[in-house]
C-alpha cells in the first residue's frame, strides 16, 4: 500500500462536522453487508474506515452492490488513509461482482511471502533454474496496490498478499492470494479477477487456504491456477509454509 496517491480521492470533511472446505476457527470474523443505494462515496468511505479502525484482526468483511466508479474511488482512498494503513489491511474492489472487500490478515500471512522468496530466490538459484542476473530482475513484493488494469477492467482495485513481478510492468506475473478469514469461494473470485482482468500480464495465481487448529496444527491446501488450464495441481501438506511461526 505504498504506491503514490492519485489526484482523485474522497474529500475529507471538517472533523468537527463528522457525524470452504477448511473450517474457520472461533476467532475468525467475517461480515458481509449491502451498501445503501443512496450512500455517497464519502459515506461509504467513513463507514468502512470506522469498521477497519474498530476491528482487531484477523477479519474479513465486505460491501456488495457498489458501483464501479464508487468502489474504485473508495478503495484507493482507503489505501491512502493513514489510520487504515496502520491496520495493515488488504483492500480489493471487484467491478464484476460489485464487491468491495477488506481483509485483515494474521501475522502468519508473512510466512507465505517468506516461503515464496525461498522458493523463487533461493531454490531456483541452487538448482540452476535461474541465474543471478535473471533473479536480479524478479521482485517479490508484499501487499501493494494494483489499479492499472486495461479496459474494460480499469475499475479493478487489487492488493495481493504476495506479487511476483518484473520492474516496469503494470501487473504481477504471479499473484498470491492467502485465505484465513477469507473463504475458498472468495479466493476463487480473486483468481478470476486476476486471470480475466490481468490478461495477458498475469500468468498464474497461487491460492493458499489455511486454518490454525488445536495445538497450533496448520491445515489447508495450495493450488496453482493458470489461464485456460483446468484441474490445477493441489498441494495438501502446507505446514512447511508456516514453520517460521509454529
Strands 234-235 and 218-225: antiparallel
pLDDT score, position 4 = 40
Q: For residue 209, what are the CA distances in angstroms to 133, 135, 223, 245?
A: 33, 28, 9, 16
Q: Which residue has the cell 486495461?
A: 150
Average pLDDT, the chain: 82
C-alpha cell at position 179 = 485465505
Which is more confident, 72 or 243?
A: 72
Residues 126/131/132/138 CA torsion (nearest 10 deg): -100
pLDDT classification of 197: cutoffs 50, 70, 90: very high
Evaluate whether 9 touches 76 at the Cβ level (below 8 Å): yes
Average of pLDDT values for 29-40?
A: 63
pLDDT score, position 16 = 34
Reply yes or no on whether the pLDDT at 181 is more than 90.
no
| Digit-coded pLDDT (tens) for 75-87 | 999 999 999 999 9
Provide the whole-model pTM. 0.78
For the chain, the structural domain boundaries read: 41-104, 107-240
Average of pLDDT values for 188-211?
A: 92
pLDDT score, position 223 = 92
How many angstroms from the chain centroid is the CA of residue 111?
15
Q: Which helix (H) or strand (E) holds 59?
A: strand 59-64
Query: Can you tell me the distance from the alpha carbon of 136 to that of 123, in angstroms, rounded to the nearest whole number?
Result: 14
Q: For residue 205, what are the CA distances in angstroms to 89, 109, 231?
A: 20, 16, 13
Tell me, which fold does domain 107-240 have in CATH?
A: tt1808, chain A (3.90.1570)
Amino acid at each position: 500500500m505504498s504506491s503514490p496517491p492519485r489526484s482523485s480521492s474522497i474529500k475529507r470533511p471538517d472533523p468537527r462536522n463528522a457525524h470452504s472446505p477448511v473450517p474457520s476457527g472461533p476467532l475468525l470474523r467475517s461480515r458481509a453487508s449491502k451498501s445503501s443505494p443512496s450512500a455517497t462515496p464519502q459515506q461509504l468511505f467513513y463507514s468502512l474506515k470506522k469498521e477497519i479502525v474498530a476491528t482487531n484482526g484477523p477479519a474479513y468483511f465486505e460491501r456488495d452492490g457498489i458501483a464501479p466508479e464508487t468502489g474504485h474511488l473508495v478503495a484507493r482512498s482507503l489505501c491512502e488513509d493513514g489510520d487504515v494503513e496502520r491496520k495493515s489491511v488488504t483492500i480489493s474492489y471487484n467491478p464484476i461482482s460489485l464487491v468491495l472487500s477488506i481483509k485483515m490478515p494474521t501475522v502468519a500471512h508473512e510466512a507465505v511471502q517468506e516461503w515464496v522468496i525461498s522458493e523463487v530466490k533461493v531454490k531456483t538459484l541452487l538448482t540452476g533454474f535461474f541465474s543471478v542476473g535473471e533473479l536480479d530482475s524478479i521482485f517479490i513484493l508484499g501487499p501493494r496496490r494494483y489499479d492499472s488494469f486495461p479496459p474494460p477492467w480499469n475499475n479493478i482495485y487489487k492488493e495481493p498478499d504476495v506479487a511476483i513481478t518484473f520492474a516496469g510492468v503494470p501487473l504481477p506475473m504471479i499473484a498470491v492470494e492467502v485465505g484465513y478469514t477469507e473463504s475458498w469461494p472468495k479466493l476463487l473470485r480473486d483468481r478470476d479477477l486476476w486471470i480475466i482482468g490481468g490478461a495477458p500480464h498475469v500468468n498464474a495465481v497461487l491460492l493458499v487456504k489455511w486454518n490454525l487448529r488445536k495445538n497450533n496444527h496448520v491445515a489447508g491446501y495450495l493450488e496453482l491456477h493458470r489461464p485456460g488450464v483446468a484441474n490445477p495441481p493441489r498441494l495438501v501438506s502446507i505446514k512447511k509454509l508456516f514453520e517460521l511461526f509454529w
